[in-house]
């Protein structure tokens, strides 16, 4: 019999997964799948059978991966296995704040079926890092978004949620843990430094996270994201097109007002209005010349 096998392993040890009371925890065991299982009843049928007799069901990562692997086999075709393939490789990191009130609450939110939202990592105020999904799998954190020509950020990014209600400072322990995690991800996946961005950057009409209190300058100094040269803000040339500059940096300018506000929340901070001042234009021009 022709065989098909795959291994998907989560890089986070089991003891790093936080378990709240009465909360189903997604298992992070190594999942091994063999094609002999293709002839077995699909997981969905097994779950339906269990539900028919009122047995509580928790759909784990292993269950979902098994079902995906089954669906990926076309029984109407002959099978002969290639040796050249890859799984999804992340090329962006998107940073969020949770807009909730605790690490436990966010973990619970990401484990409820009806919320339809998730993230690869959640970082607590005390610096605790909880991984909730294998880096190679696609989480549902970006939503409707765009950056440059990329319109499906979920498929190419890792999502990191910071436990923060959106109105409070980010503690030193939390930022320290974030920087350590970013360093690991950047090195492991060779993510370009310009591709460390925020949720508000990619969804400016819907989102404002992380908040204006987030230390983007500090991240840029460590090689995660961009920042302007505060000592070299040159006058803007007469032919400088600020709309084109925003677009080239990555912003979706189809709603120019939202793009300007997102830009100012990140780089200007003290003024988040919808109009670019002369100073704002100098900052934008500096970023444009420096990185793009």
* Residue in 161, 221, 230, 278 annotated catalytic: 161
List CB contacts of 8: < 8 A, sequence separation 6 or more.
30, 31, 65, 87, 134, 136, 137
Is 161 noted as a catalytic residue in this protein? Answer: yes
- CA distances to 32, 110, 181 from 57, rounded to whole Å, are 21, 17, 33
DSSP 34-46: EGGGGGSPPHHHH
Cα 18 to the center of its chain, rounded Å:
19
Q: Is the peptide bond before 210 cis (omega within 30 degrees of 0)?
A: yes
CB 175 within 8 A of CB 215: yes
Quote the DSSP letter at residue 97: E
Name the token pair of 233: 């803000």
Element (H, E) at 94: strand 92-97
Catalytic residues: 161
């Amino acid at each position: 019999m022709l065989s098909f096998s795959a291994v998907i392993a989560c890089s986070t040890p089991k003891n790093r997964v936080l378990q709240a009371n009465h909360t189903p925890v997604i298992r992070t065991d190594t999942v091994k799948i063999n094609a002999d299982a293709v002839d077995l009843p699909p997981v969905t049928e097994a779950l339906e059978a269990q539900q028919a007799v009122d047995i509580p069901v928790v759909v784990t990562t292993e269950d979902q991966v098994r079902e995906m692997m089954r669906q990926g086999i076309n029984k109407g075709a002959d099978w002969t296995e290639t040796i050249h393939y890859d799984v999804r490789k992340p090329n962006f990191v998107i940073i969020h704040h949770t807009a909730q009130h605790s690490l436990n609450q966010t973990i619970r939110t990401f484990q409820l079926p009806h919320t339809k939202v998730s993230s690869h990592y959640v970082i607590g105020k005390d610096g605790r890092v909880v991984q909730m999904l294998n880096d190679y799998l696609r989480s549902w954190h970006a939503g409707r978004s765009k950056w440059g020509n990329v319109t499906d950020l979920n498929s190419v990014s890792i999502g990191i949620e910071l436990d923060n209600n959106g109105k409070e400072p980010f503690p030193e322990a939390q930022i320290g843990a974030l920087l350590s995690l970013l360093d690991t991800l950047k090195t492991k996946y060779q993510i370009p430094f310009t591709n460390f961005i925020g949720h508000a950057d990619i969804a400016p009409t819907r989102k404002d996270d992380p908040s204006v209190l987030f230390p983007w300058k500090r991240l840029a100094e460590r090689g995660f994201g961009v920042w302007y040269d505060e000592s070299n803000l040159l006058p803007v040339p007469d032919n400088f097109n600020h709309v084109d500059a925003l677009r080239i940096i990555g912003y979706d300018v189809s709603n120019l007002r939202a793009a300007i506000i997102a830009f100012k929340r990140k780089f200007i901070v003290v003024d988040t209005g919808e109009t670019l001042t002369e100073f704002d234009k100098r900052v934008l021009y500096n970023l444009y010349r420096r990185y793009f």
